[in-house]
């Protein structure tokens, strides 16, 4: 460090810090940390940077927001609400929007950043899922991610309720409906949460503490843990030339990756600022103050709660009475079941997959989605399930915009929510196999060169050339999906230990279906001996040269 060229003030300060913090060694080790490069690896950073913007804009908003449900008469500058009685929370939100310099921009950026925070988490989680980047040793980090997503939904719910306008009141009312429908504890929880009969006078200040202190605190801690684990375990990389399970190919953190990450923060900030400036979000002044008796058409939650709204709208009005207690299934099922399926499914998937494949080895090279067709199909199935519920959460807007009957959107949705995932599974599976075949064709036949040759007997063929080295390495990064060895019964017809009970049999069956190589890269094309040559000019290949 202390070469003659370093100016004394810098050398002095750095050795001072180095002696006390050991920072030099730490930096030397970590600044050269290599990060693999792929655009989809940046998607999680959308959430990270949105969170930073949320903290900054949120802090600004707390300077002016009054989390109180005390009644005041509005005397601010928005004329259509003049002299209207409202809560202090709503009045201060209006004050932020109309009378605080830059307040509306901050409010809008905060809200857009919140939407991008959750959306960024979702696309990031999908990337991790579809490339199998959650596999050992990253299962714990995956669980942290699921926890982050759940907390983000809670954070969004509490934030949505704070301005105390008519829309947030509608959301609060549904929250109360769900809480009170819980068997046995519902009434207790509701009275505890709202401090008495709905809406009470406490819920805004309680949500405020949760929204600005408790949940962001946990989010911050979990995000840090998420980042540290990622740093320690190193990032997964896409299959490619020279990329193995024991190395990381990419750019060092300093300077290349740092510049990219910094630029991406600026992009995120820019997009949020643009949206906050040019697209109006949650115009609370148009909704008016919350009154439990009023409700507006088109009352919707923010998009990440849309799937819950949709399941509530799809649900038939079932309820059962047991021993004098009413069990409102029409609220309980939509509130708990889809969320349970999705969140529990997300959390358990890495472990279920391990159980099915028997795979206990470490993976640092990501899988291309097509190369694990069952996983990809399960993922698309889940997306369809979620998507149908999400879409149906907006069925009134769909009905009014596209002029279709509201009832029919519900009937169709009730069928689609079950049939859609099934169809998505089958279609995705076939697409994955098709893409694997296309890969095999690239390896087996090469790629079209654009050179047309005429053969002596008059036939025209296109000359195929070996694929680009990088592409070939990327394609050849495929490994068969692991499966439990020796699931088959031995010669005496006795299955191996652990595969005997009904569960064991199921496991063996699932493992066989899930694992293994569906379409091998190098066979089925009858010219394995010609590898490395690939030029398809010889006779006898005419059928293939025409189709590929």
Partner 1 sequence: MNRITAGRRHPLARYAVLLLALGLLGGFYTLAAPTSERADAAIASGRADDVAEGRKLFEQSCSSCHGLNAEGTANGPTLVGVGAAAVDFQVSSGRMPLANPGAQAPRKPTAPWVNDDTIRQLGAYIQSLGGGPVAPGPEQVDPAKGDKAKGGELFRANCIQCHNFVGSGGALTQGKYAPPLHDATPTQIYEAMITGPQAMPVFNDSIITPEQKRDMIAYIVGVREEPNPGGAGLGRIGPVTEGLVAWIVGISLLALAAIWITAKKRQAHQ
Q: Which of residues 185-244 bind partner 1 (CB under 8 A)?
A: 241-242
Distance from C-alpha of 364 to C-alpha of 354, rounded to nearest angstrom: 15
Task: Give yes or no for residue 339 binding partner 1 (CB under 8 A).
Answer: no
Give the rounded distance of the alpha carbon of 288 from its chain centre: 33
Determine the straight-line distance between the first and last CA of the chain, rounded to whole angstroms.
Answer: 59
Distance from C-alpha of 379 to C-alpha of 385, rounded to nearest angstrom: 10
Distance from C-alpha of 48 to C-alpha of 270, rounded to nearest angstrom: 15
Question: 121 or 416: whose CB is closer to partner 1?
Answer: 121
Task: Give yes or no for residue 355 binding partner 1 (CB under 8 A).
Answer: no
Question: 344 or 407: whose CB is closer to partner 1?
Answer: 407
Of 1, 30, 4, 31, whose CA–CA distance to 15 is shortest? 1
Task: Give yes or no for residue 347 binding partner 1 (CB under 8 A).
Answer: no
Measured CA angle at 362 (ends 358, 366), to 5 deg: 100
Task: Give yes or no for residue 360 binding partner 1 (CB under 8 A).
Answer: no
User: Regarding beta strands 320-322 and 251-252, do their DSSP bridges make them parallel or antiparallel, or are they unpaired?
Assistant: unpaired
Q: How many residues bind partner 1 (CB under 8 A)?
A: 76
Out of 1, 31, 337, 404, name the contact with partner 1 by CB under 8 A: 404
Q: Which of residues 296-325 bind partner 1 (CB under 8 A)?
A: 296-303, 306
Stretch that binds partner 1, among 289-297, 315-323, 329-337, 490-498 (CB under 8 A): 289-297
Q: Which of residues 44-73 bind partner 1 (CB under 8 A)?
A: 46
Out of 5, 8, 29, 83, name the contact with partner 1 by CB under 8 A: 83
Provide, rounded to whole angstroms, the least separation between the CB of residue 225 and partner 1.
Answer: 24
Provide, rounded to whole angstroms, the least separation between the CB of residue 77 and partner 1.
Answer: 11
Helical axes 8-21 vs 23-31, angle rounded to 10°:
100
Provide, rounded to whole angstroms, the least separation between the CB of residue 81 and partner 1.
Answer: 6
Question: 302 or 439: whose CB is closer to partner 1?
Answer: 302
- C-alpha pair distances (Å), 8 with each of 5, 23, 374: 9, 18, 61
Q: Which of residues 408-447 bind partner 1 (CB under 8 A)?
A: none
Residue with tokens 């002299």: 83
Provide, rounded to whole angstroms, the least separation between the CB of residue 191 and partner 1.
Answer: 27
Distance from C-alpha of 180 to C-alpha of 191, rounded to nearest angstrom: 9
Of 339, 344, 373, 342, whose CA–CA distance to 132 is shortest? 373
Q: Which of residues 504-533 bind partner 1 (CB under 8 A)?
A: none
Q: Which of residues 111-170 bind partner 1 (CB under 8 A)?
A: 111-112, 115-116, 119-120, 123, 166-167
Of 497, 315, 508, 329, whose CA–CA distance to 417 is shortest? 315
Question: 256 or 537: whose CB is closer to partner 1?
Answer: 256
Please enumerate in sequence order all residues whose Cβ is within 8 A of that of 355, keeping only pairs 6 or more positions apart, or say none.
507
Out of 132, 288, 477, 515, name the contact with partner 1 by CB under 8 A: 288
Helices (H), 315-465: 329-357, 373-392, 395-402, 406-445
Q: Which of residues 243-282 bind partner 1 (CB under 8 A)?
A: 249-251, 256, 260, 263-264, 267-268, 271-272, 275-282
Task: Give yes or no for residue 354 binding partner 1 (CB under 8 A).
Answer: no
Out of 11, 225, 286, 471, name the contact with partner 1 by CB under 8 A: 286
The verdict on whether omega for the bond into residue 199 sits within 30 degrees of 0, i.e. cis, is: yes
Question: 218 or 286: whose CB is closer to partner 1?
Answer: 286
Distance from C-alpha of 108 to C-alpha of 100, rounded to nearest angstrom: 13
Provide, rounded to whole angstroms, the least separation between the CB of residue 154 and partner 1.
Answer: 17
Task: Give yes or no for residue 471 binding partner 1 (CB under 8 A).
Answer: no
Q: Give the x-and-dash track for 10-39 against partner 1 (CB under 8 A).
A: ---------------------------xxx
Out of 2, 25, 59, 400, name the contact with partner 1 by CB under 8 A: 400
**Residue 324 has what DSSP assignment?**
T
């Amino acid at each position: 460090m202390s070469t003659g060229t370093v100016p004394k003030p810098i050398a002095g300060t750095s050795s001072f810090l180095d002696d006390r913090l050991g920072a030099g060694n730490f930096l030397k080790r970590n600044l050269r940390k290599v990060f693999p490069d792929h655009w989809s690896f940046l998607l999680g950073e959308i959430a990270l940077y949105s969170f930073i913007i949320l903290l900054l804009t949120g802090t600004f908003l707390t300077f002016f927001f009054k989390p109180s449900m005390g009644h005041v008469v509005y005397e601010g500058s928005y004329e259509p609400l003049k002299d209207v009685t409202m809560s202090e929370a709503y009045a201060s939100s209006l004050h932020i929007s109309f009378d605080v310099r830059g307040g509306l921009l901050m409010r809008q950026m905060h809200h857009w950043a919140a939407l991008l925070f959750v959306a960024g988490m979702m696309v990031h989680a999908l990337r991790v899922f579809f490339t199998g980047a959650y596999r050992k040793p990253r299962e714990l980090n995956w669980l942290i991610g699921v926890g982050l997503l759940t907390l983000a939904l809670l954070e969004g719910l509490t934030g949505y309720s704070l301005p105390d306008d008519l829309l947030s009141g509608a959301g609060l009312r549904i929250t109360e409906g769900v809480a009170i429908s819980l068997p046995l504890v519902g009434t207790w929880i509701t009275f505890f949460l709202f401090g008495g009969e709905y809406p009470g006078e406490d819920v805004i200040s309680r949500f405020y503490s949760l929204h600005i202190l408790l949940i962001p605190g946990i989010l911050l801690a979990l995000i840090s843990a998420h980042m540290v684990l990622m740093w320690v375990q190193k990032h997964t990389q896409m299959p490619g030339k020279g990329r193995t399970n024991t190395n990381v190919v990419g750019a060092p953190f300093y300077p290349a990756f740092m510049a990219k990450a910094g630029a991406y923060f600026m992009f995120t900030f820019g997009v949020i600022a643009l949206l906050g400036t040019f697209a109006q979000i949650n115009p609370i002044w148009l909704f008016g103050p919350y009154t439990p008796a009023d409700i507006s058409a088109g009352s919707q939650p923010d998009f990440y709660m849309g799937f819950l709204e949709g399941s509530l709208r799809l649900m038939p009005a079932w309820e059962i009475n047991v021993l004098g207690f009413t069990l409102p299934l029409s609220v309980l099922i939509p509130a708990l079941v889809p969320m349970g399926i999705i969140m529990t499914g997300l959390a358990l998937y890495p472990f279920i997959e391990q159980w099915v494949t028997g795979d206990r080895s470490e993976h640092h090279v990501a899988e291309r989605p097509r190369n694990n067709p069952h996983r990809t199909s399960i993922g698309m199935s889940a997306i369809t399930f979620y998507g149908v519920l999400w879409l149906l959460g907006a069925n009134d807007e769909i009905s009014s915009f596209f002029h279709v009957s509201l009832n029919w959107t519900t009937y169709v949705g009730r069928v689609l929510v079950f049939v859609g995932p099934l169809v998505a599974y089958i279609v995705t599976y076939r697409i994955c196999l098709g893409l694997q075949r296309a890969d095999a064709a690239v390896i087996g036949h090469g790629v079209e060169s654009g050179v047309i040759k005429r053969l002596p007997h008059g036939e025209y063929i296109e000359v195929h050339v070996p694929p680009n080295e990088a592409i070939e390495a990327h394609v050849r990064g495929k490994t068969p999906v692991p499966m439990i060895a020796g699931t088959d019964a031995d010669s005496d017809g006795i299955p191996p230990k652990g595969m005997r009970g009904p569960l064991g049999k199921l496991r063996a069956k699932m493992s066989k279906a899930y694992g293994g190589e569906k379409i091998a890269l190098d066979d089925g094309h009858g010219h394995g001996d010609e590898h490395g040559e690939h030029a398809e000019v010889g006779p006898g290949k005419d059928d293939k040269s025409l189709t590929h």
